[in-house]
Homo-oligomer: A and B are copies of this chain.
Amino acid sequence: MHSFSIQEINTILSGELIGDTSKKITGLNQLKNATPNQITFIGSKKHTSHWKDSKACAAIVSENIKVEAKENQAVIKVKCADLAMAKLLGVFSPEPPVFEIEIHPTAVIHETATISKGAQIGANSYIGKNVNIAEGVIVYPNVSIFDDSEIGANTTIWSGTVIRERSIIGAHCIFHNNVSIGADGFGYRPSEDGRGLVKIPHIGNVVIGNYVEVGANSCIDRGKFSSTILGDGCKIDNLVQIGHNCVLGRCCIMAGSSGLAGSVTLGDGVIIGGSASINDHTTIHAGAKVGAGSGVVSDVPAGKTVLGYPACDSRDMLKQWVALRRLVHK
């Protein structure tokens, strides 16, 4: 287990140390749950009152919050306690599973694939024809990557994930378990006799930027003619559906179980709440937010927050909900 003095922690965070503690710090935890060898954090004024009862040996505090050091319980002032906490969580992270062999002998790798120096391929994984794996990539066991795909430097791919042919994946991405990238889009036409359905082939692919994270069991389908695209820094939670030909800008967030039908466009920084769904061919402009559980059926202007089903301006929807309750309780 890692262990640090309060001075070492202060140096890591470039903070201002007030008071002192003789305790060795072995972890971090919330104000109420922290034990004497853990450090805690206070990022909001409403939590300051819990500091006096906290057993933590130290607290990381945002600079605009007033909190005093106690006996043998120090305070570290930082610009933003939340960011400092994220940094410390990294410091206290256990090591991820290690590979004792860079390329496991049970992995099946096509002779035309390129595995860069320092990339690691886990047991029983499959790497197809002409796949290009950049340096620092980690492919955990039981992953399948198909022909002509490219995986950028330092990207991590967890077990069960399948990356279909011709996918282009950026650097520093994380794909959690059982993700599906690049399956056929969902498109059919009634057959000429009207009695069946004709499958529309999808000959496009998926293109994913840098620093993108895709949660467990999420799906991103390939485009019909061209590409389904996720911009740099997009963060996708578990069980999310992204249909064919969707285009996501930079740093979009999609929470768990949400979904985009085909050809949806998200501007930069769009946030989609959990279980929300967006109709096909809809555009949600930069910085807009869609509330959890909403169903969006028309375009959303930049910066706007929408809510409900069918989704409209969030304040308006809250008023509608109040009005509906009043019909019953008047």
Residues of A within 8 A of B (CB): 27-30, 33, 79-80, 82-83, 85-86, 89-90, 92-94, 96-98, 104, 106, 108, 122-124, 126, 128-129, 140-142, 144, 146-147, 158-160, 162, 164-166, 174, 176-178, 180, 183-184, 186, 188-189, 191-192, 195-203, 211, 213, 215-219, 221, 224-226, 233, 235, 237-239, 241, 243, 251, 253, 255-257, 259, 261, 274-275, 277, 279, 292-293, 295, 297, 308-310, 312, 316, 319-321, 323-325, 327-328
Contacts and interface: CB of A to CB of B under 8 A. Distances in A.
Given A33-B226, A324-B327, A183 B144 contact: no
B295 A275 contact: yes
B259 A28 contact: no
A276 B81 CA distance: 34
A90 B328 contact: no
Contact of A219 (B27, B94, B215, B243): B215
A230 to B, nearest CB: 13
A200 B108 contact: no
Nearest to A224: B89
12 contacts: A33-B225, A89-B202, A97-B128, A126-B142, A186-B237, A186-B256, A196-B211, A241-B274, A292-B297, A293-B295, A309-B309, A310-B321
Given A295-B275, A328-B316, A203 B94 contact: yes
Contacts of A162: 142, 158-160, 177-178, 216
Given A162-B178, A292-B261, A327 B321 contact: no
A158 B85 CA distance: 37
A292 to B, nearest CB: 6
Contacts of A218: 217
Judged by DSSP, the binding face of A is loop
B144 A142 contact: yes
Contact of A166 (B94, B178, B275): B94
A178 B202 contact: no
Contacts of A189: 80, 82-83, 86
A238 B83 contact: no
Nearest to A254: B186
Closest 8 CB pairs of A and B: A180-B216, A293-B295, A144-B159, A126-B141, A108-B123, A162-B177, A89-B201, A323-B327
B89 A196 contact: no
